[in-house]
Chain A
């Protein structure tokens, strides 16, 4: 094996440009596969972090009737905040949300919204809730996301009418004053959402002391079994992101496969050509004391060595590139806010040692198999004809 490695090294270095062309193609595959996987991993991490910071905290308790996909459940999805949580809420480690369905009338248009009542002093979410802590009598202070503001064509200081139904089923309307517009990569926090102070919404709805969702800060908090409320751990709440990433990863896998296929095609092509072109050399190896199986081994090691060279070349230019990308991020050329999913405009790839090692091993393994495949022909060659360079 040691000798095969030494000879393969000499043969590849001696082959010059032919070797380096293959190595360059293969190294592109290395870098792009690692980069794409890093982007996916970074996206996954970013989506979960943003969801945690903006929407789900360390986990939630949902009112048993609440179904985020069915707005008709919202009118029944509320009940008094359970006494078991009073201590945590007072310490600021749990925040109640009240959710009501409503309608907004921006500049004569009509749009369905979700009105969310949130404590202006909360510190679990990154929402600028403190902007709701404004004393005013003629309008309800509210904050909205930048996408929502774009849809409404509204800015800070604008007043817009909203309508809702209270717990008795009576329609009521009031003006809201937009006190802040925030930017977030989690669409569920932005699109169609209007945030107002919790006590105002409770009062508007006639639901004093009631809530729809209770969000706690620490994901390791002990789970309390409270009748009428369903515990939703963080893993369940981020499962959708996991599913989405999994789906995207499947799509990306096709791209990896195409990249690998192109690189492998180059290796396979080189191997097939080598076996035809190097007949005399193969015969000479046998004449000098190699068995045909050892020659197959030598050619296979040569092929696998392309992957080793490619890994080294990738390290030379790929590591600085990947490190720069991890720092500077990859800004998408189109507006990511229109994607309808939790994706930031700039994604920061995250690479793990496992990702790099597994990619290198995968490419090495596939290259070895692809090199071995055509090399098996050598085992069937007649050495006397190979010595004369006769095509077999």
Chain B
């Protein structure tokens, strides 16, 4: 399944100002990810998982080194170009879902398609498809406060997947869910990865998530400590 590279990272260093000095969150990361991978950045809190995910997602920029996502160098992108990369090619799934509370499930999922200016009929078809993938066709008019945590995360997955992005970045997607819901969500993502050939990159330290990964990249103190590919 995995062939062309969609992420290529060379000697990535990320520093944050801290007091009068600096804190190095990532230190010399070298990594690549192929299309269709189902991989995870694994490590304890403070190991740099979220920072790396943010840089890959063009929400942050490297201090040193190069990060190329889908052929575009993150450090060299303008604000507009970075926004365009996220809009067209990336999907995000967050620990606390980050759904728009005042929008319905349908409107939440439709949002990325509105940004991409899809016509109304196509938007409707694509949102309906996404709702079917996550099994929420009966909740179309509900608003996030009316849904359970598992349902909210499934809406978030549908929102991330509706535009069929090349890469989905998921930051601790099961952290707020119970075991049953976590497995349910993960199975959904595995299926989508298989059916749509979308690459998934997780940041996690949850064993349930780790058990589903086909590639485990262990981070420790801002470095890649181990990189294990699980054969089928």
Residues on A facing B (Cβ under 8 Å) = 3, 6-7, 10-11, 13-16, 280-281, 283-284, 286-294, 383-384, 387, 389
Q: Which of B89-130 contact A (CB under 8 A)?
A: 92, 94, 96, 98, 100-103, 107, 111-112, 114-117
Given contacts A284-B100, A294-B83, could you give 20 more A-B pairs where the C-beta distance is less than 8 Å? Answer: A3-B117, A10-B103, A13-B102, A14-B102, A14-B143, A280-B98, A283-B98, A284-B92, A284-B94, A287-B92, A288-B115, A288-B159, A289-B83, A289-B112, A290-B83, A292-B79, A293-B79, A383-B59, A384-B59, A387-B98
Question: Quick check: is B8 within 8 A (CB to CB) of the other chain?
Answer: no
Bound CA–CA A293/B102 (angstroms): 22
**Is B107 a contact partner of A10 (Cβ separation < 8 A)?**
yes
A-B contact pairs, 6 of them (CB 8 A): A3-B117, A280-B98, A281-B98, A290-B115, A383-B59, A384-B59
B173 at the interface (CB under 8 A from A): no
Question: Cα distance A3–B110 when bound, in Å?
Answer: 12
Shortest Cβ distance from residue B55 to the other chain A in the assembled complex, whole angstroms = 9
Judged by a CB distance under 8 angstroms, whether B86 is at the interface is yes
Task: Tell me, yes or no, whether B62 is within 8 Å of chain A by CB.
Answer: no
Partner of A289, one of B54, B86, B94, B102: B86
Complex Cα gap A287–B168 (Å): 12
Name the CB-closest residue of A to B171: A387
The answer to whether A384 and B87 have CB atoms under 8 Å apart is no
A281-B108 Cα distance, complex, nearest whole Å: 12
Report which B residues bind A (CB closer than 8 A): 50, 54, 57, 59-60, 79-80, 83-84, 86-88, 92, 94, 96, 98, 100-103, 107, 111-112, 114-117, 143, 159
Q: Is A281 touching B100 in the complex (CB atoms < 8 A)?
A: yes
Given contacts A10-B102, A10-B107, A287-B92, contact A387 B59 (CB under 8 A): yes
Asked if A288 contacts B94 (CB within 8 A), the reply is no
Residue of A nearest to B159 (CB): A288
Partner of A384, one of B54, B79, B100, B102: B54
Residue of B nearest to A7 (CB): B114
A286–B100 Cα gap in the complex (Å)? 13
A293 to B78, CA, bound (A): 13
Contact A286 B59 (CB under 8 A): yes
Q: Give min CB distance, A60 to chain B, whole Å.
A: 67
What's the dominant secondary structure at chain A's contact region?
Answer: helix
Would you give the shortest CB distance from A340 to chain B, in whole angstroms?
Answer: 57
Chain A nearest CB: distance from B59 CB in Å?
5
Write the chain B residue with the least CB distance to A19: B102
Q: How far is the CB of A336 from chain B (nearest CB, A)?
A: 51
User: Which chain A residues lie closer than 8 Å to B84 at the CB level?
Assistant: 289
CB distance from B124 to the nearest CB of A (A): 15
B60 contacts which chain A residues (CB < 8 A)?
384
The CA-CA distance from A293 to B86 in the complex, in Å, is: 15
Q: Are A287 and B57 in contact (CB under 8 A)?
A: yes
Cα–Cα, bound, A10→B110 (Å): 12
Q: Complex: how many Å from CA A14 to CA B104?
A: 9
Assembly CA distance A387 to B117 (angstroms) = 24
- The smallest beta-carbon distance between A303 and chain B, in angstroms, is 16
Most chain B CB within 10 A, of A283, A289, A293, is at A289
Contact between B114 and A3 (Cβ–Cβ < 8 Å)?
yes
Interface centre among A10, A11, A288, A387 (most CB of B within 10 A): A288
Nearest Cβ on chain A to B121's Cβ, whole angstroms: 16
User: Cβ of B86: which chain A residues have Cβ within 8 Å of it?
Assistant: 286-289
CB closest chain-A residue, reference B86: A289
Residues of A within 8 A of B50 (CB): 384
Are A289 and B79 CB-contacts (below 8 A) given A7-B114, A10-B102, A383-B59?
A: no
- A11:B102 contact, CB within 8 angstroms: yes
For the complex of A and B, 4 pairs with smallest distance between CB atoms = A289-B87, A14-B102, A284-B98, A291-B83
Q: What residues of A have a CB within 8 angstroms of the CB of B59 in the complex? A: 286-287, 383-384, 387
Given A3-B115, A10-B102, A288 contacting B92 (CB threshold 8 A): yes
B101 neighbours in A (Cβ, 8 Å): 14, 281
CA distance A14 to B145 in the complex (A): 12
What residues of chain B lie closer than 8 Å to A283, measured between beta carbons?
98
- CB proximity of B113 to chain A, nearest CB, Å: 11
B54 A280 Cβ-Cβ under 8 A? no
| Closest chain A CB from B107 CB (angstroms) | 6
Chain A residue numbers with a CB within 8 Å of B115 are 3, 288-290
Instruction: Please tell me if the beta carbons of B83 and A286 are within 8 angstroms of each other in the complex.
Output: yes
Partner of A14, one of B54, B92, B103: B103
Q: Do the beta carbons of B111 and A288 come within 8 Å of each other?
A: yes
Residue of A nearest to B55 (CB): A384
CB contacts (< 8 Å) of B92 on chain A: these are: 284, 287-288
For A6, the closest partner residue in chain B by CB is B114
Give chain B residues whose Cβ lies under 8 Å from the Cβ of A13.
Answer: 102
- Contact residues in A for B96 (Cβ distance below 8 Å): 280, 389
Give, as a whole number of angstroms, the nearest-CB distance from A172 to chain B.
87
A288: which of B87, B103, B107, B117 is its contact (CB, 8 Å)? B87
Question: For B159, what are the chain A residues with a Cβ–Cβ distance below 8 Å?
Answer: 288
Chain A residues with CB under 8 A of B83: 286, 289-291, 294
Chain B residues positioned under 8 Å from A383 (CB to CB):
59
B156 to chain A: closest residue by CB: A284
Report the separation of the CA atoms of residues A293 and B92 in the bound assembly, to the nearest whole angstrom: 20
* A289 closest partner in B (C-beta): B87
Chain A residues with CB under 8 A of B103:
10-11, 14
Closest A residue to B54 by CB, please name it. A384
Minimum CB–CB distance for B49 against chain A, Å: 13
